[in-house]
């Protein structure tokens, strides 16, 4: 695994597209929808990638999905992608950067994949093709351990509370719709959000649950806990489990099909469970596929085949994962 670090110090997990940091130019919404004009290069197995022989992933570098340790990439998403890349005859390269730059890197042809607990949403499914689910993330509310909520918290319980989340996070539109909350504060980093919970300036934080889990394990003296949010169909993001996927270039359907076949292989052989557990993601909910998929009719049909703006004739790469 090769790693390059383009992430500015203190960069956010999911910063708004309109922001720019440390020389990274923000991308306009029309630019996101512009088809990349990238030639790419053929790797060892004939896969076209942005750099010859490499599978380039744009990621923010947050554990437990991606991180750098002594120049090596570690984390659940990193290890899954590395195993798939080896089967494709490619070397995994992680380019670490802020979140807005991750999206821009893929849509402009500077990276092959964006990943790291990336949530599927209908809007994102219109910007780039999204793989099948890598795992599923429940929605949780982070709070002080002395708060009365234990087994679960309802969205109705948010009323009268000061809520915090991250700028550009997928759950923010839902949080804005909750009636009766005292206020909603948006932060550039997960660390800053959680520190305000510790300081009592926030009652509840709704963030990327795996990252918060990791931060709490590393900082037990902060006295925090995460409580699962009860599912609510009126809130399509925070009211149901997140489908965590990898976003890919719309200009490379062969590579998309190969990576998707690799995801199926990881699930079929029990490697998803093994790798998630290795990085502390041992809750069975990470493996629990919802009975009804929100993707049906948007970017998948009822049989799970790709539909929508990125539908294409499927190429069978199962022989590479036999």
The pLDDT score that the predictor gives to residue 5 is 60
Q: Which of 199, 228, 257 is the last residue of a domain?
A: 228
41 and 105, same domain (yes or no): yes
Give the lowest-confidence range in 36-40, 54-58, 85-89, 239-243: 36-40
**Full-model pTM:** 0.78
- Asked whether residue 130 is domain-assigned, the answer is yes
115 and 186, same domain (yes or no): no
Asked if residue 291 has pLDDT above 60, the reply is: yes
312 and 186, same domain (yes or no): no
Determine the average pLDDT of the residues in 178-204: 95
- How many domains is the chain built from? 2
114 and 255, same domain (yes or no): yes
The pLDDT score that the predictor gives to residue 23 is 30
Confidence band of 24 (pLDDT split at 50, 70, 90): very low
219 and 299, same domain (yes or no): no
CATH code of 279's domain: 3.40.190.10
Question: 272-301: buried (b, 16+ CB within 10 Å) or exposed (e) per residue?
Answer: bbebbeebebebeebbeeeeeebbeebbbe
Percent of the chain exceeding pLDDT 90 equals: 65
The phi and psi torsions of 300 (rounded to 5 degrees) equal: -140, 145
Asked if residue 32 has pLDDT above 50, the reply is: no
Confidence band of 55 (pLDDT split at 50, 70, 90): very high
Domain of 307, in residue numbers = 2-136+242-321
Q: What is the mean pLDDT of the chain?
A: 86
The pLDDT score that the predictor gives to residue 267 is 98
């Amino acid at each position: 695994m090769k790693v390059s670090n383009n992430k500015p110090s203190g960069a956010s997990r999911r910063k708004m597209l309109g922001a720019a940091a440390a020389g990274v130019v923000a991308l306009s919404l029309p630019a996101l929808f512009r088809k990349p004009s990238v030639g790419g290069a053929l790797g060892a197995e004939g896969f076209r990638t942005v750099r010859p022989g490499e599978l380039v992933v744009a990621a923010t570098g947050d554990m437990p999905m991606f991180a750098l340790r002594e120049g090596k990439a570690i984390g659940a998403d990193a290890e899954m992608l590395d195993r798939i890349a080896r089967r494709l005859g490619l070397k995994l390269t992680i380019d670490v950067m802020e979140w807005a730059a991750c999206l821009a890197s893929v849509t402009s042809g500077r990276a092959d994949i964006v990943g790291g607990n990336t949530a599927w949403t209908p809007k994102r499914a219109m910007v780039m093709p999204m793989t099948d689910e890598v795992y599923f993330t429940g929605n949780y509310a982070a709070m002080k351990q002395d708060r009365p909520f234990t087994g679960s918290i309802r969205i109705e319980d948010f009323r009268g509370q000061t809520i915090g989340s991250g700028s550009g996070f997928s759950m923010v539109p839902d949080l804005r719709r909750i009636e009766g909350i005292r206020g909603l504060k948006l932060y550039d980093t997960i660390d800053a959000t959680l520190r305000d919970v510790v300081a009592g300036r926030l009652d509840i934080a709704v963030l990327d649950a795996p990252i918060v889990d990791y931060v709490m394990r590393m900082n037990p003296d902060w006295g925090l806990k995460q409580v699962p949010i009860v599912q609510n169909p009126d809130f399509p993001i925070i009211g149901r489990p997140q489908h965590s996927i990898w976003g890919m270039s719309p200009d490379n359907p062969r590579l998309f099909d190969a990576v998707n076949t690799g995801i199926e292989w990881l699930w079929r052989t029990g490697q998803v469970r093994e790798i998630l557990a290795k990085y502390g993601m041992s809750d069975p909910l990470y493996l629990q596929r919802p009975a009804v998929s929100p993707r049906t009719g948007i970017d998948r049909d009822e049989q799970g085949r790709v539909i929508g703006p990125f539908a294409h004739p499927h190429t069978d790469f199962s022989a590479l994962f036999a």
